[in-house]
């Protein structure tokens, strides 16, 4: 890791040459003449930017048994991702080279950096728990298996790690989320867990069930040796106070990772800072598209050598999963150029910009966390949508929030949340000036378990599925409100 931090550009060029050379004889490589590509500049000129829809026809053929399409050979593993802006499932190829050289390698990097941060870590003395999804056989080809990337990684866990994992693999990979949680409660509450990982919302569900079953006040009474939580997938700040209540200890480590279905991209390497170290030798070649050019037809990506601090970029990757100039949908900012460190700022399609306010998830997470702290309020989850301008009215934002501990005065909370959002986003502040363009945001408090029941209805429980935080339209908010109305009606 020290080598790629000290030699970032050489490392990325070596990765680029490996990927292009390896895929030269695939159908994709022949189509874009990979044998004739000699530089990243030529690659950017010859190969178009791609979203999932562009690669989907190739991936479907691969899942049905075709060889040498986007990557050499036959690929039998696929990471299923619902995304956060579409209900349509995505299937990301996970060739064995990608599984070992990117995802599992990233897991070893996490352990490396955790031990670097705290030398007393006991990962290989006690048990470790990771909330994973499940696996399924593809109907079109019995040799093809798909599921959450967490489940694929668990199933292919190196032998050295298996004695230190809880629960048993059969339980961990159960497809029924409710059954899985109940069995994990029975098994894991009796183990001595030292490290756990998973999406915060589902981890909280497990903890509540364990405390309910054991009668304990907090998780330290269940797992006295617990030391660390590895989290990713969503902004953690809205959940931090809940975890501090579950684990009331000053000697507990929170480590953020950036592991998506498409690859293991970054890890918090300094436990005193929220920045994430970009992993440059995990078989991922990076490009970056300035968000100021995102909608332009002639948008130009840049390489690592041209990036600047504090500029919002859409991340573009090429990997040994057969993803070529693939737009992940994530946006990031660089916080350090030596070594290269980033922060995730949101999604290219997971934002609100109906009125030019350019509000991203990082803004709403920060504003909500600050307001909750001021009002001594706790939140389970939330989603935000625009309120469109109609004749005689101004626009605004509508927040649907499920509170664990609601505010005494929802109106005052809403007013302060609006002010907090203005403090972290100057564009929103400008639109809110004297309420000339936007009115004060509105907050609706949802009944307990609304998001859980809504996700269950959509078949999106567990694993990589997350409540969509922001949407540039009212699709999710209207669906939730309609579901709530139907649920109350019954």
458 pLDDT more than 70: yes
Q: pLDDT class for 463, splitting at 50, 70, 90? A: low
Interval 216-265: pLDDT, tens: 999 999 999 999 999 987 778 777 888 999 999 999 999 999 999 999 99
Q: pLDDT class for 282, splitting at 50, 70, 90? A: very high
Q: pLDDT class for 214, splitting at 50, 70, 90? A: very high
Strands 340-347 and 326-337: antiparallel
In 3D space, the residue among 288, 286, 320 whose CA is nearest the CA of residue 301 turns out to be 288
Phi and psi based region of residue 152 (left: phi greater than 0; alpha: psi -120 to 50; beta: remaining): alpha
Q: Tell me the helix, strand and coil percentages in the chain, rounded to 5.
A: 40, 25, 35
276 pLDDT more than 90: yes
Q: 164 near 123, Cβ under 8 Å?
A: yes
- pTM over the 0.85 mark: no
Question: What are the tokens at 394?
Answer: 């101004």
Neighbour-count burial for 352-366, b at 16+ CB within 10 Å, e otherwise: bebbebbbbbbbbbb
The pair phi, psi for residue 314, each rounded to 5°, is -85, 135
Q: Which secondary structure element, helix H or strand E, spans residue 343, and what is its range?
A: strand 340-347
CA distance 376 to 364: 17
In 3D space, the residue among 277, 229, 227 whose CA is nearest the CA of residue 255 turns out to be 229
Between 176 and 64, the higher pLDDT residue: 64
CA distance 117 to 271: 6
Interval 333-353: pLDDT, tens: 999 999 999 999 877 777 787
105 pLDDT more than 70: yes
Look up tokens 């109350």; give the residue: 488
Q: pLDDT class for 135, splitting at 50, 70, 90? A: very high
What is the DSSP track for 80-129? EE--SS-SS-EEEE--HHHIIIIIIHHHHHHHHHHHHH-TT--TTTSEEE
What pLDDT does 85 receive? 37
What pLDDT does 370 receive? 96
């Amino acid at each position: 890791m020290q080598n790629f931090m000290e030699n970032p550009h050489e490392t990325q060029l070596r990765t680029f040459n490996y990927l292009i050379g390896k895929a030269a004889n695939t159908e994709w490589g022949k189509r874009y003449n990979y044998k004739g590509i000699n530089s990243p500049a030529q690659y950017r000129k010859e190969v178009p930017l791609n979203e999932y829809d562009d690669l989907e026809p190739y991936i479907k053929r691969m899942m049905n048994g075709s060889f040498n399409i986007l990557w050499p050979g036959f690929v039998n593993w696929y990471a299923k991702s619902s995304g956060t802006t579409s209900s349509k499932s995505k299937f990301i190829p996970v060739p064995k080279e990608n599984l070992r050289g990117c995802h599992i390698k990233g897991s070893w990097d996490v352990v490396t950096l955790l031990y670097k941060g705290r030398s007393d870590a006991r990962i290989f003395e006690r048990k470790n728990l990771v909330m994973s999804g499940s696996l399924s056989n593809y109907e079109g080809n019995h040799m093809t298996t798909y599921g959450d990337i967490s489940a694929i990684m668990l199933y292919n866990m190196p032998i050295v790690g298996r004695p230190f994992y809880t629960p048993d693999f059969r339980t961990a990979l159960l497809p029924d989320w409710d059954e899985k949680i109940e069995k994990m409660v029975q098994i894991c509450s009796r183990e001595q867990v030292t490290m756990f990982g998973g999406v915060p919302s589902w981890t909280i569900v497990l903890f509540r069930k364990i405390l309910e079953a054991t009668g304990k006040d907090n998780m330290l009474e269940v797992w006295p040796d617990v030391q660390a939580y590895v989290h990713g997938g969503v902004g953690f700040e809205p959940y931090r106070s809940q975890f501090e209540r579950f684990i009331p200890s000053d000697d507990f480590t929170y480590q953020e990772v950036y592991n998506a279905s498409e690859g293991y991209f970054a890890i918090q390497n300094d436990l005193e800072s929220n920045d994430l170290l970009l992993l440059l030798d995990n078989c991922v070649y990076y490009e970056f598209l300035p968000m100021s050019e995102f909608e332009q037809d002639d948008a130009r990506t840049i390489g690592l050598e041209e990036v600047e601090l504090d500029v919002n970029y859409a991340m573009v990757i090429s990997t040994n999963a057969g993803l070529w100039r693939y737009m992940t949908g994530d946006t990031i900012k660089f916080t350090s150029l030596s070594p290269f460190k980033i922060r995730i700022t949101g999604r290219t399609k997971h934002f609100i910009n109906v009125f030019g306010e350019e509000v991203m998830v990082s803004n709403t997470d920060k504003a909500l966390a600050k307001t909750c702290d001021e009002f001594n309020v706790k939140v389970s989850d939330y989603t935000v949508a625009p309120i469109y301008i109609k004749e005689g009215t101004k626009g605004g934002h509508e927040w649907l929030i499920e509170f664990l501990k609601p505010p005494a005065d929802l109106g005052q909370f809403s007013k302060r949340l609006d002010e907090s959002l203005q403090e972290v986003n100057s564009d929103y502040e400008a639109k809110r000036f004297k309420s000339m363009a936007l009115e004060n945001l509105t907050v609706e408090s949802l009944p307990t378990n609304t998001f859980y029941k809504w996700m269950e209805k959509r078949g999106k429980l567990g694993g990589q599925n997350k409540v969509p935080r922001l949407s540039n339209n009212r699709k999710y908010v209207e669906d939730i409100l309609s579901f709530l109305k139907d649920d109350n009606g019954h």
